Amino acid sequence: MLVVFLVALFGLVLIGVPIAYSLVGTGFFMMLTLAQSRPTAWSTFTLAQKFVNGTDSVPLLAIPFFMIAGEIMSRGGISRRIVDFAYSVLGRFKGGLGYVGILASMIFAGVSGSAVADTTAVGSMMLPIMEGGGYDKKKATGIICAAGCIGPIIPPSTQMIFYGVCAEVSVSSLFLGGIVPGVLIGVGLMIAWFFHVRKRDYPVGPKTSLKGILKATKEAILAIFLPFFIIICIVTGVATATETAALAVLYALIVSGFIYREFKFKEWPELMISAMKSTAVMMFVVGSASVAAYMVTTCAIPQLLAKAITSVTHSALAYMIMVNVLLILVGCVMDSGPAIMILTPILLPIAKNFGLDPVYFGVVMVANLCIGLCTPPVGNVLYCGVSIGKVKLADLVKASLPFVGVMYFVLMLITLFPELILFVPKMLS
C-alpha cells in the first residue's frame, strides 16, 4: 500500500495533474487496491464524506480572516509605513536597504501570514529603490525572497493552521512556537547580508534624526502592534486563534479605513472575491488531502513505517534528521500546504513514538517546508521574485543560495535544540 501511495501520488503529479486532483486520485487508487483483499473497504461515499469532513473545521476559518486582514492592511498603506519605519532605523548603514527589506518582511509576516504576500508587498516597494541605488539586482531580489519565507513562520501562519488541524494540536501554541525561529532566521539573514555588503560599494543611507525615527514609528505603530495584538489575544485567552483572526480583520478595517483613511470601502467587493477564490483553492486542497490521509491511516502506513524506522534507529534525533532530509526533498517539488496535509498523518505518529513534542515537530516541519518555497523547481516565492525583480530564475536561484543556506542552518539549530521552539509556549502557557 505504501508503494501504491507513492506511485499514485507522484505519478499523477509528474504527468501534470493538479495537486488537489492528485490527492483524491491517490485515495481512490489506494481504496481500489485495498478492496481487492477487503471488498467491504470499497465505498466512494466514504471518500466524499472524508472530503467534506476535512474542510469542516473551525480552526480553518482563521485562514480567510487572516488573508482578508493582510489584504486590507496592504491596500491601506500599512506596508508602506512598515518600510518607512524600517528605513528610519536601519537605512543609515552601508547596504541598509537590504536590512530594511529583512526587517520589513519580519514585521509584515505578523500581518499576512503568507510568504507570497510578504514577498509581493515588500518586494514591490523595495526592489525598484534598491535597483536605483546601485544594488546588485539579483542579490537584492534573493534577500527579499529569502526574507519573505519568514512570513508563515512568525505568527499568524496558514501553514501552522493546516498542521494544527491535521495533528489536533493547539494552533495558539504553534503560533507562539514560531516566534523564536522566525526571529533567528531574520537575524541570520541580516548577518549574511552584512558579509555580502562589506566588500561591495553599496550606498550609505542618510542618518535619520531621533525626531524622524519617532515620526516614522508614530506613523507605523498601529501596523507594528497588530502581531502583538494577535499574540496578546491568544496568550491571555481572550480569543482563540480563529476568533483572533476575525478581530484582526476588524482591527485592519479600523486602522486602514478610519485612522489612515487609505483603504477605500468601494474596494471591499473586489477584496472579498479575491479572498473567496484563494480560500476555495486552499479548502479544495485540504479536503483532497483529507481523503489521502484517511486512506493512509486506514492502511496503517504510519505503523509500518514506524516499525521500519525503529528497526534502523532508536534515536529521536536521528529520526528528526531523516524527516528533515525528506522534507527538504519534498519542499523542492511540492507546495508547503499540501505537503503538510499529506505528511503529517504519516510522520507525526512516529514522532510521538519517539517521545517528541507535537508542537516542536510541527514548527520544525513548517519551517523546513517554508524554506522550500525558495528552492527550485517548485518555489512559489522564487517565481514571485522573478516577476517583481525582472531577473532570470537561474540567476535568482544562484544569488539566493547563501541566504537559503543560512535558513537551513537555523533549521538545524531548532532541530537540535527544541527549547528554542518550546520556550515561548511554555513561558506563556
CB 253 within 8 A of CB 17: no
How many CB atoms neighbour CB 137 within 10 A?
A: 17
Preceding peptide of 156 cis, ω within 30°: yes
In a domain, 49, yes or no: no
CB 140 within 8 A of CB 127: yes
Please say if the pLDDT value at position 219 is more than 90.
no
Mean pLDDT of 236-263: 84
* Residue found by looking up cell 500500500 in the block: 1
**Structure confidence at residue 174 (pLDDT):** 92
Mean pLDDT over the full length of the chain: 86
The residue with greater pLDDT, 325 or 289, is 325
207 φ/ψ angles, rounded to the nearest 5 degrees: -75, 130
How many CB atoms neighbour CB 37 within 10 A?
A: 7
In a domain, 363, yes or no: yes
**Segment 3-14, tens digit of pLDDT:** 888 888 888 878
In a domain, 46, yes or no: no
Instruction: Verify that 30 and 66 share a domain, yes or no.
Output: no
Please say if the pLDDT value at position 214 is more than 80.
yes
Please say if the pLDDT value at position 177 is more than 90.
yes
**DSSP 3-state of 94:** strand
Mean pLDDT of 348-377: 92
In a domain, 287, yes or no: no
In a domain, 330, yes or no: yes
Instruction: Verify that 388 and 424 share a domain, yes or no.
Output: yes
**Segment 81-119, tens digit of pLDDT:** 888 888 888 888 888 889 999 998 898 887 777 788 888
Instruction: Verify that 8 and 130 share a domain, yes or no.
Output: no
**DSSP 3-state of 204:** strand
pLDDT band at 183 (very low <50, low <70, confident <90, very high): very high
How many CB atoms neighbour CB 83 within 10 A?
A: 26
Q: How many domains does the chain divide into? A: 2
Instruction: Verify that 31 and 180 share a domain, yes or no.
Output: no
**Pairwise CA distance, residues 106 & 354, whole Å:** 33
Instruction: Verify that 172 and 221 share a domain, yes or no.
Output: yes
**Structure confidence at residue 119 (pLDDT):** 87
Identify which of 337, 301, 339 has the alpha carbon closest to the alpha carbon of residue 323.
Answer: 339
Instruction: Verify that 35 and 86 share a domain, yes or no.
Output: no
Q: What's the N-to-C CA distance of the chain in angstroms?
A: 41
CB 324 within 8 A of CB 372: no
Using a 10 angstrom Cβ sphere, with 0-12 exposed, 13-18 middle and 19 or more buried, the burial of residue 44 is exposed
